[in-house]
Amino acid sequence: MIKLRWIGLLLALLAVTVAGAGPALAAPTASPAAGPEVNWWLLGAGGGNSGGGAITLNDSLGQPVIGNASGSGVAMNGGFWQAPAAPAAVPGLRGSRVSGLVQLNWTAVTADIYGQPLGEVIYRVYRAVDTPYFTLGGPPYAEVAAGTTYTDPDASVIGNTAHSTFYAVTAVSGGLESSPPVGRTGARAFPLVPGN
């Protein structure tokens, strides 16, 4: 009977160790304001080689599990190493006329394409004449380091019946630029000719 108890205890300890929780576990605690909190470290499985750019990791078995995960009303900080991701596309781009100039406004980008929060974000404004669905490339027309508004100083855009001007905005964080914009806006003027 005693041997069975020791075998059961060893199997339970082995199950906890294999599950990645490690031998030193603290009991989960609950905070009424923040919800449940788990006070222990998890070690992620893995191993092998992984790399990106000039960095290669060999045998990364045993890395701490980091990142965010949620579902069914429960959120955890968990995950594996992942390469930095580009910011999400800039939503809500719209243009308006303010004091005879084109003013662009958009919704701030706060997460990358995987939904992870971003640090500092700057915005690149691209502009093209007579090409509404132009391909982004080359240097941007302007960069906005703070805020979600840009006013084009070119007064010839408004009221120009010979040419139309179009704009697109992308987000940049950590040196990575967002995917092509989800929307574009522009200024188009055309003369009204009286008819008979």
Query: Using the 8-state DSSP alphabet, how is residue 87 labeled?
Result: B
Domain count, the chain: 2
Q: What is the pLDDT of residue 4?
A: 47
Whether 101 shows a pLDDT value over 50: the answer reads yes
Pair (107, 179) in one structural domain: yes
> Is residue 16 within a helix (H) or strand (E), and if so which, with residue range?
helix 2-18
Looking at 31, 46, 76, the residue that finishes a domain is 76
- Kindly report the pTM of this predicted structure: 0.58
19 band by pLDDT with thresholds 50, 70 and 90: very low
DSSP assignment of 33-81 equals: TTEEE--S--B----SEEEETTEEEE--TTPBP-S-EEETTEEE-----
What range defines the domain where residue 11 resides? 2-76
Pair (144, 179) in one structural domain: yes
Whether 114 shows a pLDDT value over 60: the answer reads yes
Pair (141, 66) in one structural domain: no
Q: Is residue 15 part of a domain?
A: yes
Pair (69, 115) in one structural domain: no
- Rounded to 5°, angle at Cα 87 from 97 and 146: 45
Pair (57, 137) in one structural domain: no
Q: Is residue 125 part of a domain?
A: yes
